[in-house]
Structure 1
Amino acid sequence: MGTPVNIIVGSHVWVEDSDVAWIDGEVEKLTGEVVIQATTGKTITAKLSKIYPKNVEAPAGGVDDMRKLSYLHEPGVLQNLKIRYELNEIYTYTGNILIAINPFQRLPHIYDAHMMQQYKGAPFGELNPHVFAVADVAYRAMINEGKSNSILVSGESGAGKTETTKMLMRYLAYLGGRAVTEGRTVEQQVLESNPVLEAFGNAKTVRNNNSSRFGKFVEIQFDKQGRISGAAIRTYLLERSRVCQISDPERNYHCFYLLCAAPQEEIEKYKLGHPKTFHYLNQSKCYELVGISDAHDYLATRRAMDIVGISENEQEAIFRVVAAILHIGNVEFTKGKEVDSSVPKDDKAKFHLKTAAELLMCDLKALEDALCKLVMVRPEEVIKRSLDPESAVTSRDGLAKTVYSRLFDWLVNKINNSIGQDANSKCLIGVLDIYGFESFKTNSFEQFCINFTNEKLQQHFNQHVFKMEQEEYTKEAIDWSYIEFVDNKLKLTWKS
């Protein structure tokens, strides 16, 4: 944990810097404040409480477990991670916690079958830090102790949580054998569900081209022999507002762009065009992702749907709904003949309304009434009230969000039914892929919920990693220095 160190003239230290966070240097003078000659050449004056000792004996390549550091403070931790990252070592331990830094490139050689074989059954910490080692520990603990385990994958948006979750599931599938369900393996269906869920639940944000806009908890069930016997995917907090409102340079959910890049017969069938022709997509000028083919991903998503047991007719219905939402978004309104009433603005609006009704297989007049009128059901009567154009737009967007959310829930339920649950399973390993913390200029209610959830998980992390560790030290009367950490628990209050 590090012990208090006397800073003297000649000590090597870390000091805060506004440009690069921390820079190292040597103490030149100790008066009321500390004068430091930085390795960058500049002279810095700082308070004694604001500087930290530097470990000059640290290995040139850093350490693979942060507990080996002489001083466990922020600059020491960041420097160690930086050194390892520059050596293409993206994983580092802090005890049984794995820190991963997104390399922003594919590294297939560290995730192949040979690598999985190496980590199978290897004692934790014996080999280089790796996501497979974490999954292996969870699996061995489940087998040996007969208890369920969970793995939490947390971090900022763009940190690589979803990719890490895929690696964890691949390794658990490797360990869990080949329990077959209806000709397809359970693990294959779990893994193949990823592209389906990503197509409908992921989107490009400012930080991340493939950001999960929902939370996902995957329960992988095992039989007595330790083989995968079933699985279930639990999702929550889908960012519904994204369906109707996006900021530049973000994108809406991938599925909209995939469908607009579908084969020509699909485009004609659903009466689609370039994404820029749809209101729900053209609020941002970003229509394509660098190095990604939406046309290719559309076909890949259809193949993944085949594997998870979604029939051709169901796939047709799914994309009919996706197309209908795009058309609904293009229905504009103008004032009607009556006071505070509204009607479709022009022929273009009527075309999109008619197309949406055809795709949803509902009555055209009923759909128009649903958008332009408010229906209040009372015990004694049903009251219909006309909506003004602005309120009709709100009603339109509300319908689009609700339909999309129901579609997403249906997809998850369909995938779960297809994979199959093992009612007799006594143990499971859960993998929680939580969405990343983001703070925008204007935050939606969903973003607030996302950030609140992350704060609660951070408190859980603090409780188990820092507070319990410190309580243990106190109980055993071990001399140690108190670890300062940010705990937002006291700050999570607000006035309504």
Structure 2
Amino acid sequence: MDKPVNIVVGSQIWVGDIDSVWIDGLVLNINGEDAEIQTSDGRQVVVKMSNLYPRDAEAPATGIDDMTRMSYLNEPGLLHNLAIRYAINEIYTYTGNILIAINPFQSISSLYDAHVMEKYKGAPIGELKPHVFAIADVAYRAMINYGKSNSILVSGESGAGKTETTKMLMCYLAFLGGHAASEGRTVEQQVLESNPVLEAFGNAKTVRNNNSSRFGKFVEIQFDKKGRISGAAIRTYLLERSRVCQISDLERNYHCFYLLCAAPPQERERYKLGNPKSFHYLNQSNCYELAGVNDAHDYLATKRAMDIVGIGEQEQDAIFRVVAAILHLGNIEFAKGEESDSSFVKDEESKFHLHMTAELLMCDPNALEDALCKRMMVTPEEVIKRSLDPHGATVSRDGLAKTIYSRLFDWLVDKINVSIGQDPCSKYLIGVLDIYGFESFQTNSFEQFCINYTNEKLQQHFNQHVFKMEQEEYVKEEIDWSYIEFVDNQDVLDLIEKVQLFFLTLLLKSKDAFTTLRILLLSSYLIA
């Protein structure tokens, strides 16, 4: 951030504010390290000079569409510029060749129609207003003109609008490299049509977002030498498996569970779903229904999307049998057995859910009960079965549910990829990465560690290319410029990576926050 070395009496400045975070003001007097400030809301305050940042009084009232052209690149100035642009429905702003998007939380269809796509086709970046289409166009032109494959990284906090932005990028790339409608159902159509299926099984309501992606997605759009889309592949990462069994208050499990529970009565009867709110995996939070969301309608829409991507009726039945089986599995409870550290299925209701799970998964109920209540250990000489107490059996039950769901999701992705069709002879590709934002919950699991570590790596990639490499180039060319200060997160990565095996091994074994804290402190000491 810009340092306040050029601040004098009469300067327009930004100063920290408890209510507004930053507020503008005027310097009335300077006394050593202290400054007397008249704020825009009529207050007079005395603050340290080091807490002041210069404000551009001549900036246009409608903001600046490329923030590299701002007179002062400091945090309050950037935030103010974004805020005044957002107020006039300008949700996109450039910072050089980086696009900042602010979620409008409403549909703005006129911003993405065919007419707008045609305007941005071939237009140099910066010639038109900032737009997500301009970023996609730059990637496509670089591929065509220089034979260079590209990837577009969509990052931000949960609920920022990453998934919708990814859809817009793919729509525009399909517009540029797509085929004529007369050629039948095309690759680009299949990629776009796969979104409802992936969202049904990979998205869930969180506190901040009613349709939050709980997995990372990298879409490879493959092109031939003429720049036409020839194939595509969807790679997925870090599915949040723990959500299947454990959800926080005001959140929901994956959409597909609620869609199936809102299916027509004859289908719910086939899977013996009864009262959906009685299922343990769904009733852990005070949120079952969502305002403005019709799960029954979305169930039928998801089945239609499955038809489109080549998942037939029998396979759809098998998919929803697995989803229903997971719900029944979650209602199996265990009681303490006669022997120490042993357990058995608790009561008749639990036995009913056990038999329904076995029937839906087409396995033997006795074998399923044995697998849940006992742990198998394989040695070079023999196979040993060890009984589990009720808590251990419950952990085993939840582990099975998470594994089944994860395998189902992977199967769906593979099925979609087969339906879309990859081109092994493609000349170029443009990748679009849509991944979790940083997460910090009341209870954070190892999944949050992996998600946040991934985001720290992406942030370092950003720092490396936008700050470090650029400024190294300025030094080489002896350009007179003011060094841009930025927060370098390399120390965070060093904390994890320089003692990787030791740190990760202990973290996997740790069972509480106190143990994890001790590991972090010890790791910090080792790095130092």
TM range (shorter): over 0.9
Gaps of 5+ in 1: none
Q: What residue number does 2:498 align with?
A: none
Judge conservation of contact 1:181–1:419 (CA < 8 Å) in 2: no
Show CA shifts across 1:69-126 (max 9, x none). Answer: 1111111100100000000000000010000000000111101111111111111111
CA distance in 2, matches of 1:8, 1:319: 69
- Alpha-carbon RMSD across the aligned residues, in angstroms, is 1.6
Q: What residue number does 1:348 align with?
A: 349
Identify which range, 360-369 or 267-276, moves more after superposition. 267-276
Q: Per-residue deviation at 1:183? A: 4.7
Judge conservation of contact 2:4–2:49 (CA < 8 Å) in 1: no
Q: Per-residue deviation at 1:285? A: 1.2
Show CA shifts across 1:236-276 (max 9, x none). Answer: 11111111001101111111111111111111011113442
Specify the code of the residue in structure 2 equivalent to 1:30.
Answer: I
Q: What residue number does 1:17 align with?
A: 17
Judge conservation of contact 2:14–2:25 (CA < 8 Å) in 1: yes
Judge conservation of contact 1:12–1:24 (CA < 8 Å) in 2: yes
CA distance in 2, matches of 1:334, 1:4: 68
Q: What residue number does 1:473 align with?
A: 474
Specify the code of the residue in structure 2 equivalent to 1:388.
Answer: D
Specify the code of the residue in structure 1 equivalent to 2:23.
Answer: I
CA distance in 2, matches of 1:181, 1:241: 45
CA distance in 2, matches of 1:228, 1:290: 39
User: For residues 43-442 of structure 1, what are the structure 2 equivalents within 5 Å?
Assistant: 43-178=44-179, 183-442=184-443
Judge conservation of contact 1:25–1:39 (CA < 8 Å) in 2: yes
Q: Per-residue deviation at 1:476? A: 2.5
Judge conservation of contact 2:3–2:50 (CA < 8 Å) in 1: no
Judge conservation of contact 1:84–1:90 (CA < 8 Å) in 2: yes
Identify which range, 235-244 or 173-182, moves more after superposition. 173-182
Q: Per-residue deviation at 1:336? A: 1.9
Q: Per-residue deviation at 1:480? A: 2.4
Q: Per-residue deviation at 1:194? A: 0.8
Q: What residue number does 1:41 align with?
A: 42
Q: Per-residue deviation at 1:179? A: 7.4
Show CA shifts across 1:298-317 (max 9, x none). Answer: 11111111111111111110
Specify the code of the residue in structure 1 equivalent to 2:198.
Answer: L
Identity %: 77
Q: Per-residue deviation at 1:286? A: 0.4
SS of the residue corresponding to residue 184 of structure 1 reads coil
Structure ranking higher on relative contact order (CA contacts 8 Å, 6+ apart): 1
Q: Per-residue deviation at 1:48? A: 1.2
Specify the code of the residue in structure 1 equivalent to 2:11.
Answer: S
Q: Per-residue deviation at 1:478? A: 2.6
CA distance in 2, matches of 1:134, 1:358: 51
Identify which range, 376-385 or 285-294, moves more after superposition. 376-385
CA distance in 2, matches of 1:282, 1:199: 19
CA distance in 1, matches of 2:338, 2:4: 79
Aligned length: 496
Identify which range, 291-300 or 376-385, moves more after superposition. 376-385
CA distance in 1, matches of 2:275, 2:45: 56
Structure 1 residues 180 and 110, CA gap change in structure 2 (3 angstroms): closer
CA distance in 1, matches of 2:375, 2:193: 42
SS of the residue corresponding to residue 83 of structure 1 reads helix
Show CA shifts across 1:162-211 (max 9, x none). Answer: 00000000010111121799952101110011111111111111111111
Q: What residue number does 2:510 align with?
A: none
Gaps of 5+ in 2: 496-519, 524-528
SS of the residue corresponding to residue 6 of structure 2 reads coil
Specify the code of the residue in structure 2 equivalent to 1:93.
Answer: Y
Identify which range, 112-121 or 323-332, moves more after superposition. 112-121
CA distance in 1, matches of 2:189, 2:386: 51
* Runs of 4+ residues deviating >3 angstroms: 1-5, 179-183
Q: What residue number does 2:491 align with?
A: 490
Identify which range, 463-472 or 298-307, moves more after superposition. 463-472
SS of the residue corresponding to residue 431 of structure 1 reads strand
Q: What residue number does 2:501 align with?
A: none
Judge conservation of contact 2:92–2:99 (CA < 8 Å) in 1: yes
Specify the code of the residue in structure 1 equivalent to 2:321.
Answer: R
CA distance in 2, matches of 1:134, 1:204: 29
Q: Per-residue deviation at 1:160? A: 0.2
Show CA shifts across 1:412-439 (max 9, x none). Answer: 0110011011011010000000111111
Show CA shifts across 1:17-55 (max 9, x none). Answer: 122111000001100201100001112221112111110
CA distance in 1, matches of 2:236, 2:180: 24
Identify which range, 375-384 or 97-106, moves more after superposition. 375-384
Judge conservation of contact 2:4–2:50 (CA < 8 Å) in 1: no
Identify which range, 134-143 or 3-12, moves more after superposition. 3-12
SS of the residue corresponding to residue 76 of structure 1 reads helix
Judge conservation of contact 1:2–1:70 (CA < 8 Å) in 2: no
Judge conservation of contact 2:329–2:354 (CA < 8 Å) in 1: yes
CA distance in 2, matches of 1:421, 1:460: 28
Identify which range, 74-83 or 284-293, moves more after superposition. 284-293
Specify the code of the residue in structure 2 equivalent to 1:170.
Answer: C
Judge conservation of contact 2:4–2:52 (CA < 8 Å) in 1: no
CA distance in 1, matches of 2:176, 2:439: 35
Judge conservation of contact 1:220–1:430 (CA < 8 Å) in 2: yes
Judge conservation of contact 1:179–1:229 (CA < 8 Å) in 2: no
Structure 1 residues 2 and 122, CA gap change in structure 2 (3 angstroms): farther
Specify the code of the residue in structure 1 equivalent to 2:75.
Answer: E
CA distance in 2, matches of 1:446, 1:193: 25
SS of the residue corresponding to residue 439 of structure 1 reads coil
Q: Per-residue deviation at 1:288? A: 1.5
SS of the residue corresponding to residue 29 of structure 2 reads strand
Structure 1 residues 346 and 316, CA gap change in structure 2 (3 angstroms): same
Structure 1 residues 315 and 181, CA gap change in structure 2 (3 angstroms): farther
Structure 1 residues 465 and 228, CA gap change in structure 2 (3 angstroms): same
Judge conservation of contact 1:173–1:187 (CA < 8 Å) in 2: yes
Specify the code of the residue in structure 1 equivalent to 2:9.
Answer: V
Identify which range, 377-386 or 140-149, moves more after superposition. 377-386
Judge conservation of contact 1:250–1:284 (CA < 8 Å) in 2: yes
Q: What residue number does 2:509 align with?
A: none
CA distance in 2, matches of 1:273, 1:74: 54
